[in-house]
Structure 1
């Protein structure tokens, strides 16, 4: 994905996300079968809702990503650039400045 930058294992508030594109506030979470367990699924839903209230978009991909890699990459590209046929452009993120009353993420 030329022109983009993803951070791996990026901390956001109380969570650590698998992949984050700071310029677009896009989070990519490749999830395995263990995420289907009831309690883990409930925690994931709460975590995703919190991330979305903070202005992030969360993409989840289940299980066998290796066999579906072209479609996974296409989905990420569409989320980043707005469409499959849109030319990619270099992205820059603006660092978030924390005011005196704001608490930085841990």
Structure 2
């Protein structure tokens, strides 16, 4: 596992501003993840990791959750997201991607997928 890399001040400030400007899907999922509400796991939002700012991360389970709007369906976004996911995977993170509509229409299914992934990665976190 790579050692901790200092986070540039500009990236920390940008992440902080993003936490104050959540989208509706981000807020809905955050309400399920915050305060150890999902399996007792500690999630943080808008977390700088490997030069990127991820939507949600649980360091203990090495899970990143990304929410994607329609712009992520475009070719250049898919290439960028693929490279980003590959980098995070190399650093030991499992990246879960959900469409915004999935969060808005089936939050229980999204949470269940997160739980299943965490349980599969770490038997110690089984519900």
Q: TM-score category by the smaller chain?
A: 0.7 to 0.9
Give the number of the structure whose alpha-carbon radius of gyration is greater: 1
**Over the residues paired in the alignment, what is the CA RMSD in angstroms?**
1.7
| Alignment: residue pair count | 86
1:3 to 27, 40, 62: 40
The normalised TM-score by structure 1 is 0.75
Which protein has greater RCO, CA pairs closer than 8 Å, 6+ apart? 1
Counterpart among 37, 40, 44 of residue 74 in structure 2: 37
* Cα displacement (A) at 1:51: 0.5
> Where has structure 1 moved over 2 Å in runs of 4 or more?
none
- Name stretches of at least 5 consecutive residues in structure 1 with no aligned partner: 89-106
Offset at residue 87 of structure 1 (A): 4.5
Gaps of 5+ in 2: 1-37
Give the Å deviation of 1:37. 1.1
- Of the three residues 52, 56, 75, the one matched with 1:15 is 52
